[in-house]
Amino acid sequence: MDTFEIAEGRQIQLFTADNTARVEKQKETPMFVVIGNPPYNVGQVNENDDNNKNRKYEAMDARVQETYSQDSKATNKNALSDPYVKAIRWALDRIDEEGVVVFVTNNSFLDGVAFDGMRKHLAEDCDAIYILDLGGNARKGLKVSGANVFGIRVGVSINLFVKKRQKLSESARIFYHRTDDLWDRKQKFNFLAEYQHIGDIRWQTIQPDMRHTWLTEGLQAEFDIFTAIGTKEAKAAKDEAVNVIFKTYGLGVNTNRDIWVYNFNRNILAQNMNLTIETYNAEVARWGQRADRNANLDDFVVSDDTKIKWSSGLKQKLQSGQSQNFWTQQSDNRFIDPSQNRTYSLIAL
């Protein structure tokens, strides 16, 4: 059964009456311990993750919105759509007054910009939090190969969230331990095998700052007093903006596929562009010839990170039958179309 679907509050009808009855009984049963490894992939907020963007859950999305998202100062909050974020929100809500949530998850909530509101609420909801950070985030650069315990690109942490009826303080006591960045997967497994009890680990006590930053090592406290480069409030103000360097700002050049359209090597860049455009044009042709006129585009197109990076805008172009060409510049006013092996002159009018 889909756990988040249970939380929607609708009448559950499963394949068998017995299973439906079991789920309904479970919903009424007090729960004190939640253990799991919820799915986590921030990429699912994008179009290209097997064309399987995060499923919408009205009740769960609302809970994340009114807590974690509402209290976040971040501009881009897409990361909060990650299923593991919803799983933590659900689990802490499901345990009414006292209990423990133990999850193995993506460790991005520890220092991600969009997770400041989430960190604020975790500290408010829990009496104690234990974070065993196993590192392994390939996007931040790994000092050794094979450093991720699951062989995936996102970092991993083991998290214990403890709730008590009577909190010892308004904010949770937060304990943190990070494994050595020079350890590979086997060394981390050996560590976990040796230190199986929470009391065996040498925990570092975390004291969050006013912005709900947990990992403050290397950060300077005076950052908060610096003049902001720009703010949403200043941008929206009709009169002259104060306490900012720039009143207005924007996203700038946004490709949605930087890995494909940027490269220091001209030849590799041309190869990448030709590959992704050929894949796109093939999908345009296949879409135009499909027998099922009501086919779902997300289910139809090929999703392969080694060939193409989809976005909602590119899918709209495909749906309208727009093919693409890639021309390379030969000189100031001459361009080559590799697909047709032709050279064109550009004349300014």
pLDDT 10s digits, 222-278: 777 788 888 888 888 888 888 899 988 888 888 888 888 888 988 898 899 999 999
| Tokens standing for residue 35 | 């253990």
Angle at the Cα of 270 from the Cα atoms of 315 and 282, rounded to 5 degrees: 35
pLDDT at 256: 83
Q: What is the mean pLDDT of the chain?
A: 84
pLDDT at 347: 46
Separation of first and last alpha carbons in the chain:
64
Among residues 55, 56, 51, the alpha carbon closest in space to that of 298 is found at 51
In the chain, CATH 3.40.50 sits at 31-219
CA distance 213 to 29: 36
CATH topology of domain 31-219: Rossmann fold (3.40.50)
Torsion angle of C-alpha atoms 264, 265, 269, 275, degrees rounded to 10:
-130
Reduced to 3 states, what is the DSSP secondary structure of residue 211? Answer: coil
Reduced to 3 states, what is the DSSP secondary structure of residue 32? Answer: coil
pLDDT at 85: 95
Q: Are strands 328-329 and 204-206 parallel, antiparallel or unpaired?
A: unpaired
Q: Are strands 204-206 and 128-133 parallel, antiparallel or unpaired?
A: unpaired
Residue 161: how many other CB atoms lie within 10 Å: 23
Specify whether the CB–CB gap between 161 and 126 falls below 8 A: yes
pLDDT at 149: 93
Residue 3: how many other CB atoms lie within 10 Å: 17
pLDDT at 285: 93
- All residue ranges of the chain with pLDDT < 70 are 1, 7-15, 41-54, 220-221, 293, 328-349
pLDDT at 104: 96
Provide the 8-state DSSP code for 228.
Answer: B
Specify whether the CB–CB gap between 338 and 328 falls below 8 A: yes
Burial 53-77 (b: 16+ CB within 10 A, else e): bbeebeebbebbeebbbeebeeeeb
CA distance 27 to 23: 6
pLDDT at 349: 32
